[in-house]
Amino acid sequence: MTGNDALAEEQEHLGRLLDRLEELRKDTRARLDAVLRGTGGTPQARSERESFARLYSSELASFNAANLGLYFGRLDMEDGEVRRIGRVGLRDDDEDLTTLLLDWRADHSRPFYLATTARPEGAHRRRHLRTIGRRVIGVHDEFLTAPVDGDVPEDHDDVVGESALLEALDAARSGHMTDIVATIQREQDEIIRNPHSGVLVVQGGPGTGKTAVALHRAAYLLYNHRQRLDRSGVLIVGPNPRFLDYIARVLPSLGESGVVLRTLGDLYPGVRATGPESLRGEEVKGSEAMVDILRAAVRARQLAPADEVEVHVDGHRLVLEPATVRAARGRARMTRRPHNQARDAFATRITEALTEQYMAALTDPVGDAEDEAWAPRGDGLGDLGDPARPLLDAEDRAALRTEVEESVEVGEAIDEWWPVLRPERLLAELLSSRERITEAAGDYVAEDQEALFREDGYAFSVADVPLLDELAELLGDDPSEEGTEADRAWAEQVRQAEEALEILTGSAVQDIEDDLDPEVLMAYDVVDAESLARRHSADSDLTVADRAGADRTWAFGHVIVDEAQELSAMAWRTLMRRSPNRWMTLVGDVAQTSSPAGIDSWGDALSPYVDDRWVLCELTVNYRTPATVSAVAEALLAEIDPAATSPRPVRRGRHPVEWAEPDAASLVDLVVERVTAVSPERAVAVVVPEWTEYDDDNGVLSEDGHGTADGGRVNDSAASTGYPDLREAVERARPGTSVLPLALAKGLEFDVVVVIDPEQILGRSPQGLQDLYVGTTRATQELVLAQPGGFGPLLTEIRETLAGSREELTA
């Protein structure tokens, strides 16, 4: 068969597929319209209609998305079977429902991604198709076993479909990530389809496709566990809004729209964490010790008076001794319930004590009882056995108790000693008061305490979000707030689980004023995953994504975290709460950790939650940076961790790295010259060291100089002035060019990258090397390092070594 025959054959098939897709789309649209027109009926009928509406909408979304690049691959099997692979599965409407196209996620499609000449997986030929709209513009065949009249071509190690892959990798970047369904590589496929149902860690150097793999795994899991995940949802957590925007189109392009994308900063509903944070603050707030500090901050709000306090009930003077209040507080703490829920126990003890006194006062005409300090007595009912006193019966007692309960003075006293607390307010009041900080974090050195302090307590930063989440756990809901029926049912389940736990742990001898063991089992640990899922089945017009996004305690079916190495110990706690079933995919690179509170080792981060029950997969091939550029990164990696191996670049690269040493005055001119030399369809970024003021949504300096970013920081040292002249000049010279601080470049890529002042990046201890490593690995084509005033010793050495090896190569 000639190349033209092959084109004609595939063209015909593509035409048929597109027609069939159109038919299905019309059909589904009509069904959806019919369902949406339906009204009334029993609750069951309504609920059925809702599920059909969801089903049809999601089918329609996937048909709409599949239109572009619908058909991209074909396998000719040894036994003569032809498998055509595309974005969705399509069947003919003939009697046999003949398969016209296999979904890329179907098992039968797998050899397309795995087959090599060494392991052909039953396939004889793999064909990659290039299409534009309705036209097939090229096919590329690879023979996996010897064709009748030819040799088996040589295998290229671990790269399959090399020409299609190289073409994809060389393509200009649009500023948005695209899917890689047509060219997924073997090691990536193994992760995407990994059957492990616990924590899967994907470790890989920059550009190895971790993000791409994570997103395709989400699509794959939704395809294979549709029922389960449709109800409980999939959460993807990325480092900042700009990164989420960068990846946002991938899942919709794969027909998946129900995934919740979030940054850590918006995981706490109702709070948009855009306040600045110092590196020191980030470190202190990220450390596990914050749990104790927050606990202490809550306990500091559970008060007892220093002296006796009088309250009046129906004109009777009653007295509360400090010991009485302390004992009530101890009892309330012993319930191990969150603060707001334990308030009942506190209030009950106080009420009981006062009722007791009240009864004594009524039955003790001399009034001795008023002067007696009440102390808790075994059964809490006191001694009513004196025959000289008139007896009050149970009914009288209940009436007196109600009077006590309803007394305004008693209510105020309880509110003062055990107030209902809300996380936002408690945290804001803690962080804006040096006294409160010292009270809760007295063991910390003064500098760390100061790092916690800020004038405006409510200017929440990303590092505060896990603290709010922790406080929400410690405090529990405000009992006066009404939830939905489903929320109440859920709360009841958790309450029962808590009670069961109390029975388990309640017998332990505890000094009631002592701190409780921080690692006690939480109620969520004993509420099984199925019950969690049932909670999610509540009828609602809202999508799962909407409901899950607005609910702090939502238990996601699967949680994916990108750049997971940046998570602090406190952030891990927050995320683990979103994933009670611990079915997670965590992708990251411990050599790229730039947060001072981030992790050095996966084991250390995960062991508190899953011990050693997690699976590590590694990605070893670098698809982004060509060898010319990755040589610099490799040298930096050797400084970060001499034992680490760099991912192997797929492409050689056409442009050597440029090491520019302009004087400060000519920096802007140099950058303008470089960016304007790049053709307009290419994406260019100018990466600058951190600056104080920037607007993360756009990745540009904020005009008013006040906004900072989700994921934004301020330097501890003298605040950097930013690069307004540079930014202005670049925007004027080449509109659309990104000028962005390093923190926001994480995870992104551009065809050409100019890194400004790498020495300043390096100097930012302790993670400067990691930061520069990240900065130098963003380029898909060209890298320029621009150092005003000249490079320091390390970079000079790297530059010379690389120049030396290039000379050797050319010699």
> Could you tell me which stretch among 9-17, 58-66, 199-207, 605-613 binds ligand ATP (CB under 6 A)?
199-207
The 3-state DSSP class for residue 7 equals helix
Which of 32, 212, 332, 431 forms a contact with ligand ATP (CB under 6 A)? Answer: 212
Number of Cβ within a 10 Å radius of residue 435:
7
Q: Report the residue number, 457 or 741, with the smaller CB distance to ligand ATP.
A: 741
Residue 185 interacting with ligand ATP (CB under 6 A): yes
Q: How big is the site for ligand ATP, counted in residues (CB under 6 A)? A: 23
The mark string for 78-97 relative to ligand ATP (x by CB under 6 A, - otherwise) is --------------------
The 3-state DSSP class for residue 322 equals helix
Which of 86, 111, 120, 209 forms a contact with ligand ATP (CB under 6 A)? Answer: 209
The 3-state DSSP class for residue 552 equals coil
> Could you tell me which stretch among 183-191, 369-377, 598-606, 752-760 binds ligand ATP (CB under 6 A)?
183-191
Site for ligand ATP in 764-783 (CB under 6 A): 777
In the complex, the smallest distance separating the C-beta of residue 240 from ligand ATP, rounded to whole angstroms, is 12
Residue 595 interacting with ligand ATP (CB under 6 A): no
What is the widest separation between alpha-carbon atoms in the chain? 118
Q: How far is CA 409 from CA 404, 430, 676, in A?
A: 9, 27, 74
> Could you tell me which stretch among 29-37, 177-185, 675-683, 782-790 binds ligand ATP (CB under 6 A)?
177-185
Residue 749 interacting with ligand ATP (CB under 6 A): yes
User: Are the CB atoms for 179 and 563 separated by under 8 Å?
Assistant: no
User: Are the CB atoms for 669 and 682 separated by under 8 Å?
Assistant: no
Angle between helices 289-299 and 569-578 (to 10 degrees): 80
69 annotated as ligand-binding: no
**693's tokens:** 């003021």
**477's tokens:** 């809901």
161 annotated as ligand-binding: no
In the complex, the smallest distance separating the C-beta of residue 123 from ligand ATP, rounded to whole angstroms, is 18
In the complex, the smallest distance separating the C-beta of residue 75 from ligand ATP, rounded to whole angstroms, is 17
Residue 623 interacting with ligand ATP (CB under 6 A): yes
Closest CA to 161 of 137, 192, 191, 126: 126
In the complex, the smallest distance separating the C-beta of residue 628 from ligand ATP, rounded to whole angstroms, is 16
* 202 phi, psi to nearest 5 deg: -110, 105
Residue 787 interacting with ligand ATP (CB under 6 A): no
User: Are the CB atoms for 298 and 339 separated by under 8 Å?
Assistant: yes
Q: Report the residue number, 373 or 616, with the smaller CB distance to ligand ATP.
A: 616
210 annotated as ligand-binding: yes
Number of Cβ within a 10 Å radius of residue 269:
12
Residue 207 interacting with ligand ATP (CB under 6 A): yes
Which of 188, 357, 767, 770 forms a contact with ligand ATP (CB under 6 A)? Answer: 188
The residue with its CB nearest to ligand ATP is 209
**545's tokens:** 């994504």
User: Are the CB atoms for 21 and 90 separated by under 8 Å?
Assistant: yes
Which of 211, 274, 449, 594 forms a contact with ligand ATP (CB under 6 A)? Answer: 211
Residue 711 interacting with ligand ATP (CB under 6 A): no
Residue 444 interacting with ligand ATP (CB under 6 A): no
In the complex, the smallest distance separating the C-beta of residue 623 from ligand ATP, rounded to whole angstroms, is 4
Block residue for tokens 């671990």:
158
206 annotated as ligand-binding: yes
Residue 636 interacting with ligand ATP (CB under 6 A): no
User: Are the CB atoms for 340 and 476 separated by under 8 Å?
Assistant: yes
Closest CA to 738 of 692, 786, 694: 694
Sheet holding 199-204, edge to edge: 260-263, 234-238, 558-561, 584-588, 199-204, 614-619
Closest CA to 92 of 171, 207, 13: 13
- Binding-site annotation: residue ranges for ATP: 204-211
Contact positions vs ligand ATP (CB under 6 A)? 165, 168-169, 177, 180, 183-185, 188, 204, 206-212, 589, 623-624, 747, 749, 777
